[in-house]
């Protein structure tokens, strides 16, 4: 079994995945990429950053993205998030605009969403690595199977979670979630291409998420 550098609370829940053939093949693929000189984002220590900042027990909200950012210095292991000092990407700009409209909060200067993760928001990309400058280059290598397992274990072992599924890809990936035990909110993707055609702005997902958490006796997220 490979020694996967993932937070202990998640390692306990997902250890069986690390022994499966698809995951072993994924590890070999990543080793080959590195050996061939490919630059991979995010850097190795940040690949499982979403799990590091949001433990299994603390998870209250799940946001599903697709791929890490493929520009230099952007990806920090949390979907939609970028490191401090990096220009806020267009999709995140639209997320912040919706929060401002929904909750009246000012738009943050930083696109680093670690502060959300610390409050129990699991910011999960379907694919956890990417080649520099090549969007989607690590899709269909095994990551999707692994992140499906993450969603499955959450669905089987936790309830009263909020799932924010933005765009058709996230909605398909989250289709296994039991809607009778969790709040599942869907909208168009916040990317300008999708959001500008309607279906993103005005979704009020952030106030709805907080209202649901409050109804379950849980602390609201400071979005």
Q: Is 67 a catalytic residue?
A: yes
Between the alpha carbon of residue 170 and those of residues 64, 71, 155, 187, the distances in Å are 6, 22, 15, 10
Q: Residue 96: is its pLDDT beyond 60?
A: yes
Looking at residue 183, what is its pLDDT? 98
Share of the chain above pLDDT 90, in %: 95
Minimal CA–CA distance to 138: which of 148, 126, 150, 129? Answer: 129
Q: Where does the pLDDT of residue 67 fall: very low under 50, low under 70, confident under 90, or very high at 90 and above? A: very high
Q: Residue 1: is its pLDDT beyond 70?
A: no
Q: What is the pLDDT of residues 129-161, one digit of tens each?
A: 999 999 999 999 999 999 999 999 999 999 999
Looking at residue 198, what is its pLDDT? 83
Mean pLDDT of all residues belonging to the chain: 96
Catalytic residue among 3, 67, 84, 102: 67
Q: Where does the pLDDT of residue 2 fall: very low under 50, low under 70, confident under 90, or very high at 90 and above? A: low
């Amino acid at each position: 079994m490979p020694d996967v550098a993932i937070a202990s609370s998640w390692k306990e829940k997902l250890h069986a995945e690390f022994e499966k053939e698809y995951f072993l093949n994924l590890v070999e693929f990543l080793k080959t990429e590195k050996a061939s000189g490919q630059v991979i984002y995010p850097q190795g220590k940040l690949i499982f950053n979403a799990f590091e900042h949001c433990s299994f027990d603390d998870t209250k909200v799940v946001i599903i993205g697709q791929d890490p950012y493929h520009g230099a210095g952007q990806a920090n292991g949390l979907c939609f998030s970028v490191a401090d000092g990096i220009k806020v990407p267009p999709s995140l700009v639209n997320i912040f605009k919706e929060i401002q409209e929904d909750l009246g909060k000012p738009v943050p200067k930083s696109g680093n969403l670690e502060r959300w993760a610390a409050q129990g928001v699991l910011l999960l990309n379907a694919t956890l690595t990417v080649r520099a400058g090549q969007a989607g280059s690590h899709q269909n290598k095994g990551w999707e199977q692994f992140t499906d397992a993450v969603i499955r274990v959450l669905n089987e072992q936790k309830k009263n979670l909020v799932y924010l599924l933005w765009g058709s890809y996230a909605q398909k990936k989250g289709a296994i979630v039991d809607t009778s035990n969790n709040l599942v909110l869907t909208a168009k993707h916040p990317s300008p291409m999708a959001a500008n055609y309607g279906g993103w702005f005005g979704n009020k997902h952030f106030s709805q998420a907080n209202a649901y958490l409050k109804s379950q006796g849980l602390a609201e997220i400071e979005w």
